[in-house]
Amino acid sequence: MRAQKRQDDQASVVSMLLQDQGGEWRRLCEQATGVAGADDACFVFFSSTTPGLPHVPGGGFHGWAPPHYAAAGRQPGDEWLRPCRELHLDSDAFYAVVPAERGDTRGLLLLLYGEAKVPCEQGELLALLAGHGALLWREQEQAQVRARPELSTERLLSRLKPLFMNAPILVNGFDRHGRCILWNNECERVFGWSFEELQAEASPISVFYPDPEDRRQVIATFEAPTGCEFREWHPVDRAGRRLTTLWANIVLPNGDMICVGHDITEQRKLENQQRLAASVFDSCYDGIVLTDADNRVLHVNPAFTRITGYSADEALDKPAALFGLDSHEIPLPAQEGSPRHWQGECFIQRKNGSECALLLAISVIRDKADKVQYHALVLTDITLLKEHEAELRQRALYDPLTRIPNRQLFSELLDKAMAAADRSQTMLAVCYLDLDGFKQVNDTLGHAAGDQLLMEMGRRMELVLRNCDTVARLGGDEFALMITGLHHELECTEILDRVLAAIDVPVRLDGHQARVSASIGVSVYDKDASDGQTLLRYADKAMYEAKKQGKRRHLFFEPVLHLQEQERYRLYQELRQALINDEFLLHYQPKIDLFSRHMIGLEALLRWQHPQKGLLTPVEFMPAVLDSDMEFELGQWVIRRLLQQMTAWSQAGHDYCASFNVSAGQLMHEEFFSNLTYLLSLYASVAPERLELEFQESAVLEDVHKAAAVLEQCRDLGLVISLDNFGSGHGSLVHLNRLPVDIIKIDRRFINELLAGSDEASMVEGVVQLASALRMLVLAEGMEQPELSDRLQQLGCHYVQGYGISHPLPAEEVHQWLAEWNQRLRLQ
In degrees and rounded to multiples of 5, residue 114 shows phi and psi of: -75, -20
Q: Which of 665, 666, 724 is nearest to 692 (CA)?
A: 724
DSSP conformational letter for 695: E
Which tens digits make up the pLDDT trace of 183-237? Answer: 999 999 999 999 999 988 888 888 989 988 888 888 887 776 655 678 888 999 9
| Whole-number Å distance between alpha carbons of 448 and 757 | 8
What residues are paired with 108 via a beta bridge?
A: 44, 99
Which tens digits make up the pLDDT trace of 499-524? Answer: 999 999 999 998 889 999 999 999 99
Q: Please tell me the predicted confidence (pLDDT) of residue 813.
A: 96
Confidence at 562, pLDDT banded by 50, 70, 90: low
Classify 121 as helix, strand or coil.
coil
283-287: Cβ within 8 A, 24+ apart: 286/378, 286/379, 286/380, 286/381, 287/377, 287/378, 287/379, 287/380, 287/381
Q: Please tell me the predicted confidence (pLDDT) of residue 147.
A: 46
Confidence at 588, pLDDT banded by 50, 70, 90: very high
Q: Please tell me the predicted confidence (pLDDT) of residue 550.
A: 84
| Whole-number Å distance between alpha carbons of 343 and 592 | 39
Which tens digits make up the pLDDT trace of 138-192? Answer: 777 666 544 445 556 567 667 777 888 888 899 998 888 888 988 999 999 999 9
Q: Please tell me the predicted confidence (pLDDT) of residue 787.
A: 78
Classify 53 as helix, strand or coil.
coil
Please say whether the beta carbons of 556 and 542 come within 8 A.
yes
Q: What is the pLDDT averaged over residues 75-92?
A: 78
Q: Please tell me the predicted confidence (pLDDT) of residue 566.
A: 76
Q: Please tell me the predicted confidence (pLDDT) of residue 635.
A: 96
Classify 760 as helix, strand or coil.
helix
| Whole-number Å distance between alpha carbons of 444 and 451 | 13
Which tens digits make up the pLDDT trace of 116-143? Answer: 877 777 777 888 888 888 888 877 766 6
Task: Output the average pLDDT for the chain.
Answer: 84
Q: Please tell me the predicted confidence (pLDDT) of residue 237.
A: 92
Distances (CA, A) of 245 to 159, 169, 259: 27, 11, 12
Contacts with 2 (C-beta within 8 Å, 6 or more apart), sequence order = none
pLDDT higher than 50, residue 663: yes
Q: Please tell me the predicted confidence (pLDDT) of residue 7.
A: 42
pLDDT higher than 90, residue 36: no
Q: Which of 495, 441, 450, 447 is nearest to 471 (CA)?
A: 495
| Whole-number Å distance between alpha carbons of 752 and 754 | 6
pLDDT higher than 60, residue 74: yes
Contacts with 641 (C-beta within 8 Å, 6 or more apart), sequence order = 584, 585, 586, 604
Q: What is the pLDDT averaged over residues 83-100?
A: 85
Q: Please tell me the predicted confidence (pLDDT) of residue 746.
A: 87
Please say whether the beta carbons of 192 and 238 come within 8 A.
yes
Confidence at 655, pLDDT banded by 50, 70, 90: very high
| Whole-number Å distance between alpha carbons of 597 and 362 | 47
In degrees and rounded to multiples of 5, residue 236 shows phi and psi of: -110, 150
Cα–chain center distance at 656: 33
Which domains are seen in the chain, by residue range? 2-143 (3.30.450), 153-268 (3.30.450.20), 284-381 (3.30.450.20), 401-557 (3.30.70.270), 569-827 (3.20.20.450)
What DSSP letter does each residue of 621-686 carry, written as one string? HHHHHTTSTHHHHHHHHHHHHHHHHHHHHHHTT----EEEE--HHHHTSTTHHHHHHHHHHHTTTS
Cα–chain center distance at 581: 51
Q: What element of type H or E holds 267? A: helix 265-283
Cα end-to-end distance, the chain, whole Å: 125
Q: Which of 158, 171, 160 is nearest to 134 (CA)?
A: 160
| Whole-number Å distance between alpha carbons of 426 and 368 | 64
Q: Please tell me the predicted confidence (pLDDT) of residue 2.
A: 43
Q: Please tell me the predicted confidence (pLDDT) of residue 196.
A: 92
Q: Please tell me the predicted confidence (pLDDT) of residue 464.
A: 96
Which tens digits make up the pLDDT trace of 374-422? Answer: 889 999 999 998 888 888 878 889 998 999 999 999 999 999 999 999 9
Q: Please tell me the predicted confidence (pLDDT) of residue 152.
A: 60
Pairing mode of beta strands 553-556, 517-525: parallel
Which tens digits make up the pLDDT trace of 306-348? Answer: 999 999 899 898 888 878 776 445 555 555 555 678 888 888 8
Q: Please tell me the predicted confidence (pLDDT) of residue 372.
A: 86
Q: Which of 204-213, 251-260, 802-811 has the lowest mean pLDDT?
A: 251-260
| Whole-number Å distance between alpha carbons of 563 and 560 | 6
Is the preceding omega at residue 526 within 30 degrees of 0, hence cis? yes
Q: Please tell me the predicted confidence (pLDDT) of residue 60.
A: 55
DSSP conformational letter for 200: T
Classify 429 as helix, strand or coil.
strand
What pTM does this model have? Answer: 0.40
What's the angle, vertex CA 512, arms to CA 511 and CA 513, rounded to 5?
125
pLDDT higher than 60, residue 239: yes
Which tens digits make up the pLDDT trace of 744-771? Answer: 998 887 777 776 666 667 777 888 888 8
Q: Please tell me the predicted confidence (pLDDT) of residue 424.
A: 93
Q: Please tell me the predicted confidence (pLDDT) of residue 226.
A: 53
